Structure 1
Amino acid sequence: MELNSIKPADGAKHAKRRVGRGIGSGLGKTAGRGHKGQKSRSGGYHKVGFEGGQMPLQRRLPKRGFKSQSLKFNGEVTLTALSALGLAEVDVAALKNAGLVGQLVKFVKVIKSGEIATAVKLNGIGATAGAKAAIEAAGGSIA
């Protein structure tokens, strides 16, 4: 193989459409642009979402909702998941290693869903009022 004999694979390249080159090409005269109007002219087009002066859809519909970007740093753990973990002392790093919260999470809160029977000490983890009562009833503590 020589540099002068290299060529692309068959079917990899196709000829560019040559518009406005006579009636025999099938794309002569108006060159596939139809007759008159803004879209037939060079440089003539409109911005995305423009509806000819009618109030555009994105402006007709009401503004709705908001999703806080700080929520990705918050995590929740249930009492059931905490008891299944089987650790005496639990912190955010332990929950990340167990896969109970995401790697981006900075603040974790225990919620009262299920039950806990073993004593667990929480370090740097919050808890709802009901979860706190259940953990302390089982002999655990929240630091």
Structure 2
Amino acid sequence: MNVDDIDILCDKETALLTNTKLAGYLVEKVDYKESAKFKSYYGKFLIEGIGVEIMGDWQILDAKQTWSKMYVADADSITHVQIGTLSIPVTKISLELELFARMGRWTAYQKLRKQVDKVPAQQGLFWQKKPFNEKPLPQAQ
């Protein structure tokens, strides 16, 4: 899988704070935005040539035309990956899969699911005991 940018999922306050903390990298100011499929405190930054998208209190409109809960990357939805002496908080793969499914992005869902299935030792780092929506996640085919 190729990575084009970095998506940062956070709450409203953190999203708005990035306007001042990352002001020198600002491409699109973080502000409340609503589209046909999403609503959040959204903005863009460019840091050393890498695009960074901020999404605070992010919600997704699903195929049933229902807005999801607010996604904020709270303690239950993140894990930490150790790189050298640096501990980096990242969203659990179970959340990434849930988000792809909610958005109807089945190709991305299947790519990620297959990637995780290839490396069984990593599964324990990312899978939580029960999915966020209390229903089993669909299996990639």
TM-score of the two chains, using structure 2 as the length reference = 0.19
Relative to total residues, which structure has the larger helix share, 1 or 2?
A: 2
Relative to total residues, which structure has the larger strand share, 1 or 2?
A: 2
Q: Which has the higher contact order (CA 8 A, sep 6+)?
A: 2
TM-score of the two chains, using structure 1 as the length reference = 0.19
